[in-house]
Structures are given as C-alpha cells and as structure tokens.
Amino acid sequence: MNKKVDIYLGLIGDNIAQSKAPLLHHLAGLQNGMSVQYDRLVPSEQKKDFDALFDACPLSGYRAINVTYPYKERAARKVLISDPLVRAMGAVNTVLFKENGPVGYNTDYSGFIAAYRNQRGDKLPGVACLIGTGGVGRALAFALIALGTNEIRLVDNDKTKADVLADDLRKVVPTVSVRVMDNAASAADGASGLLNGTPIGMVGYEGTPLPASALTGAVWAFDAVYTPVNTEFLMDAESRGLEVISGYELFFYQGVHAWSHFANLPLDENRLRIDLKSEGNAA
C-alpha cells in the first residue's frame, strides 16, 4: 500500500461496483486534510470467502471497513459489540480493527433515524411494513422502534429469518406489535410506512418489492437501495403522493456516522452533500 495515504479503508460486499462510499470517504478525508484510500472488496473477485477476506484486512493495513449486503450478519459474529442494542440487532456495517480485535457498529441504524428525521421530523412512523429481514432490514426494524412505531409487519422469502427478527424485537420491546406475514401486498394493506430492505431495485436486481397497486393508502415509503436513487418502488410511491425517503439519505448518514468512527474528526455535512453531488456527476 502507498505510504502517502493517511488512512486505509474498505467496503466488503457483493455487487458494489457503483457504490459511492469510496467517494464519500475520500471527500471526508479532504475536509480534514487527509488522504484516504477506500477499496471495494468483493470476496469472489479477491478469491476469498468472506471470513478469509475479513481476517486479511487488518493484516493488509486497513484501519477499518464497512460491510454491506449480504455479509452484515456474518460480520456481527466476528466482532466485539459494546452496544447492547446493536448486539440485539445481530448485524454490523462498520468495523474498526483495534489491537484487541475488531469492534463493530451499526450506522445503518443511526443513519436511518437521521434520514427519517430529516424528511419527516417528529412524525411517528405508524404501522410499518418492512420487506426484507437481513442485515439492513434488522437495523431498520430496530430504528422503527426507536422512532415510535406501534406495529411492524415483517415479510421475507426466508420466513425463518423473519421469525428470528420478530422474536428479537419482542425481547427488546414487548409492547410493540410484531407480525410475520407471508405476502408483501397483504402486509402493506393498511400500513402507513412501506420499507424495502431488500436489494430488489438495485442495479443487477431490477424490479420492485411491491406492486404499485399495493401502495394505496400508505403515507410514506423508504427504499434502502440507492443505486439507482430513483428506484421503481420510490417513483411509484411518489406518483401516489407518498412522502419518500431515498436510500441515498441512508447512504449519506450511515457514511457520515461511519466516518466519525473511522477518524473521530468533524464534517461539514452541507459541504459534503454539495461535493458528493458535484464529484458524483463528474464521475
């Protein structure tokens, strides 16, 4: 690795060629006079499985990494987690490699809360339909509870995963109604908030988690996908008058919060937004 670089970071995940995370952390470094190298680390391209690639990161000089789909739950089993709420989530997306071993955090959780508050202020989520109960879905579910939801309806092709998340949520907040449902459209019926926590709609995973007809009656929608920003799901929701929260907002805030763990240095968030848009359009 180049000795002129001040901090080495990386992102482990699949299908991350279009991730803007390297640009975000490069710009965060520039604000603080630091040179940042942020590498995309795809296990299949590195010819390693996730565990081998993760274990190799500190030996290769990485100070920290982000973890994305589909490895957040696996990462949680490999790190020390001091926050009991994050332990209950069972998923991490931010890892610092320290002398005593890797330490994990979940900035998807805090990032979604920030994105929601930025768009909807103090409005309560109401009944929430959450499609996808993997790593990001688990963070969204716990964030919904923190935001004051009174009911969460969980949908996943893998019903066992949804059942496990439901049990974990009930243990933390038994007063919130948590239901596991088989059909996304049925779960959306009568819900105020509709959330996509799956990769459906991402480049390479085209489509939408809900038919447009199932959006009627909802108030707001969120899509964890941000490549592209304008997913079919969010465009359908916006055309029906729902308040929409883009996955880009989650990307932005989870990145800002991850940077605080990586470098413990301040950021001018407005400047970062402007620079991201400018540099991203130029790329």
- What token pair was written down for 263? 């470098």
pLDDT of residue 1: 53
Residue 166 to residue 97: CA distance in whole angstroms: 31
End-to-end CA distance of the chain: 24
Q: What is the pLDDT of residues 187-237, one digit of tens each?
A: 999 999 999 999 999 988 899 999 999 999 999 999 999 989 999 999 999
Q: What residues are paired with 80 via a beta bridge?
A: 103
Give residue 280's pLDDT band: very low, low, confident or very high (50, 70, 90): confident
Q: What domains sit in the chain, N to C, each tagged with a CATH number?
A: 7-106+249-282 (3.40.50.10860), 109-247 (3.40.50.720)
DSSP class of residue 180?
E
pLDDT in tens, 23-33: 999 999 999 99
> Can you read off the two tokens belonging to residue 196?
């996509």
The answer to whether the beta carbons of residues 212 and 88 sit under 8 Å apart is: no
- Which of 3, 20, 47, 72 is labelled catalytic? 72
Query: Which residue is it, tokens 């997306």?
Result: 93
Q: What is the pTM of this model?
A: 0.94
Per-residue DSSP letter, 190: T
Cβ contacts of residue 161 below 8 Å, gap of 6+? 133, 134
CA–CA distance, 151 with 129 (Å, rounded to integer): 9
pLDDT confidence tier of residue 7, bands split at 50, 70 and 90: very high
Closest CA to 42 of 78, 76, 68: 68
Q: Specify whether 72 is catalytic.
A: yes
Task: Give how far Cα 31 sits from Cα of 120, 256, 271, 272, 275, Å.
Answer: 29, 12, 9, 8, 10
Nearest 5°: CA angle at 165, between 163 and 168? 110
Q: Tell whether the model's pLDDT for residue 157 goes beyond 70.
A: yes
**Which one-letter amino acid corresponds to residue 207?**
G
